[in-house]
Chain A
């Protein structure tokens, strides 16, 4: 799998928020075998310096960092945050979120396309948090995105893949674009389903962070992602409406 020229073997991207402790976060990152973690930026107090400790912590993990623009509701906010993230984290990668609606945290796809165009022209490698809308996806690609990240379901909802048909259509429509399901996954079977559809990767946070045992859940997601990907590569059989006996009928004894 290749994101902006970077070869990756893990197909699980992991968020770093809401874990019970840094120790559990680190153990979950290891158990998930992820190579990319998402991070954010927030106000730093001159005295407390919580961000400095977190910065030291993530630098020692040895994984690639994908900063986000979470919480941004306008193009200006998202673009400014992206610039601040590029300097802070020393990466051109940005998970671009422009939120349009507070209840569902649905992307503002109009603002998203506009922000993507501005940032692409400025040399960013954009991972846009979008919907499964094919026209928006086309616009994002035209703007310069080389990866697309449609939602599975609203962020933190644990609903899984809300629109299987739409996601399947998106995969079929963009066979060569790396597609990542971002947000809404709750259990490993959701991740496996995404991979079986042919998605290149999944990005999740809350499903692991808020599990009773985040480290074991991270391991479970890692296995599900791997299993789903292998299943996709193995070409699953087509579903059918009627039964078809798996045991051969030929040679069956007459016992009536």
Chain B
């Protein structure tokens, strides 16, 4: 399955958000997620399916003004 992770194309076998994050190297990371522009809380990641062409945003703390 092909998805866009933070704007870059990735190929994944995982079909759920929690599995995808693990496969993409985010295991244990403090991140917030959105799929196709909608926020997905941590608790809902295991029940959030991913589909071909989905846009996944993974954000982390960053310096800001």
Contacts and interface: CB of A to CB of B under 8 A. Distances in A.
B39 A15 contact: no
A51 B61 CA distance: 5
A42 interface: yes
Interface string B7-32: 10000000000000000111001111
B39 A40 contact: no
B65 A43 contact: no
Nearest to B24: A46
Interface in B32-52: 32-34, 37-39, 41-42
B1 interface: no
Which of B29, B30, B63 has the most A CB atoms < 10 Å from its CB?
A: B63
Count class of interface residues, chain A: 35 or more
A177 interface: no
Contacts of A47: 25
A220 interface: no
A39 B62 contact: yes
A85 B32 contact: yes
A17 interface: yes
A45 B32 contact: no
Task: Select the residue from A46, A51, A55, A88 with max chain B CB neighbours within 10 A.
Answer: A46
Given A44-B29, A80-B37, A88 B59 contact: yes
A43 B64 contact: no
Contacts of B41: 83, 87
A68 to B, nearest CB: 5
Contacts of A17: 63-65
Contacts of A16: 63-65
Nearest to A38: B64
Contacts of B24: 46
Contacts of B25: 46-47
B59 A42 contact: yes
Contacts of A141: none
Contacts of B63: 15-19, 25, 39-40, 54
Given A45-B6, A47-B25, A88 B64 contact: no
Given A76-B37, A84-B32, A46 B26 contact: yes
A41 interface: yes
Nearest to B29: A52
Contacts of A49: 29, 60
Nearest to A47: B25
A145 B56 CA distance: 31
A54 B62 contact: yes
Contacts of B34: 80, 84
Interface of A: 15-19, 25, 38-47, 49-52, 54-55, 58, 67-68, 70, 76, 80, 83-85, 87-89, 155-156, 183, 205-206
Interface of B: 5-7, 24-26, 29-34, 37-39, 41-42, 57-65
